[in-house]
Amino acid sequence: MVSALGLTAALGGCGPAGDSGDVTLKLVAADYGDSAANSSQKYWDKLVKEYEGKHPGVQVDVTVYSWNDVDAKVKAMVDAGEAPDLAQIGAYADYAAKDLLYKADDLLSIPVQADFPGQLADAGQVNGVQYGMPFAASTRLLFYNKALFEDAGITPPTTWEELAEDAEALKADGVKYPYALPLGAEEAQAETMQWLLSGGGGYTDANLGTYGLDSPQNVATFDWLKDDLVGKGLTGPVAPGKLNRADAFAAFASGDVGMLNGHPSLMKIAAKKGVEFGMVPMPGIDGKSKISMGVADWMMAFKQNGHAEQVGEFLNFVYSEKNVLAFSREYELLPVTDSASAVMSTAKQDADLKPFLEELPFSELYPVSKTSWASVSADIKKRIGQAVTSGTSPATVLDQLQTTAVREENADE
């Protein structure tokens, strides 16, 4: 893998008189593919080739890294004074708080900026100004294995009580993971948020906007998970705190999981292995959860190298309906523009994504506008598995997480 630090942003057009005046934009992006065959590098190479053909004075140099590395690569480049022109990664707020980013208003045409759904545009704001431009989105649904459910004589759950009853029936039928609960370090913050929302809570106080990890609703949710699922042996042989999302998805595709929360990419993974599955909204305490979890990844533009005009023109191309649709369809993700969503909601080829699209307007995103969120999320990944461990109090773990979150938030003020 090429080191990001060896890829300094080119400053074409900023050299001495007599230079051609051409500009090279440097973009660092995350890889959404699961193999070399569908690496995001291929998507970007095709898009850039088309763009450069229409803009002979601009070159776009794209480097793609895995999600395990990309955030750290960009941070290292910024810390070394070699910020890329553009970065497509998981969080933007810390860079915005340091005044390193262009405002979306400085870059995008009015029609393009207005095409972002309101909740995604709002999530890209810090102090009422949009810096983060949504690039990919997804929601979560409860996936279930149709064959295992049929064998156990059960139907998809709509409440927590029904979910536990279904898990009991699956366990009695010898299913390895009746309900897979991935609270391991890879993506524990996602599974946690889905459960907190279904229990009427969440990461933040809805009225105050401050962290509320230790709320009574959140404590009650984790008490139930610990006592009614994990404590009764309904989450499989691997402790939730040791189970990563990718491993849970792989187990589902192998036919070893009765049900789990999944995003759109799980459809392709399961279908490849011949697993017939169904999808329903996440159950809540008394019925389907009123709010689902939404996730967005972000595009941002650094000011260090200038090039606002060229960056803006390129981004307007990136966010065209055609290109947003192409990316979303390639990686089974939800489009981040209203125009592309309107096409996908009626196109036959996108019918499998429709249930996820329908959830997006009612979803809640991570508190990504908080500059403290990156460190709070890392703390959740590290600790939350302990909340369902025998001999541990969920209230104690959530209180510790809240204490850390408040400290991080105050440090950023």
H runs (alpha helix) in 244-360: 245-253, 265-272, 308-318, 321-330, 338-344, 354-359
Give, rounded to a whole angstrom, the gap between the first and last alpha carbons of the chain. Answer: 37
* Residue 132: closest CA among 152, 104, 168, 158: 104
Please report how many Cα atoms fall inside a 13 Å half-sphere around the Cα of residue 39, on the Cβ side: 12
Q: What predicted TM-score, i.e. pTM, was given to this entire model?
A: 0.84
Q: What is the mean pLDDT of each run of 10 residues along the chain (413 residues)?
A: 28 33 91 86 96 95 91 94 96 93 96 94 92 95 98 97 98 98 92 96 88 97 98 97 94 98 91 95 90 92 96 97 95 94 94 90 89 90 95 96 93 69
Structure tokens at 180: 């897979």
Per-residue pLDDT, 192:
97
Per-residue pLDDT, 288:
84
Region at 291 (left for phi over 0; alpha for psi -120 to 50; beta for the rest): beta
Check: CATH 3.10.290.10 for 4-138+295-365?
Answer: no
Q: Where in the chain is the domain with CATH 3.40.190.10?
A: 4-138+295-365, 141-281+372-411
What is the percentage of the chain residues whose pLDDT exceeds 70?
Answer: 94
Class of domain 141-281+372-411: alpha beta
Alpha-carbon span 341 to 325, nearest angstrom? 8
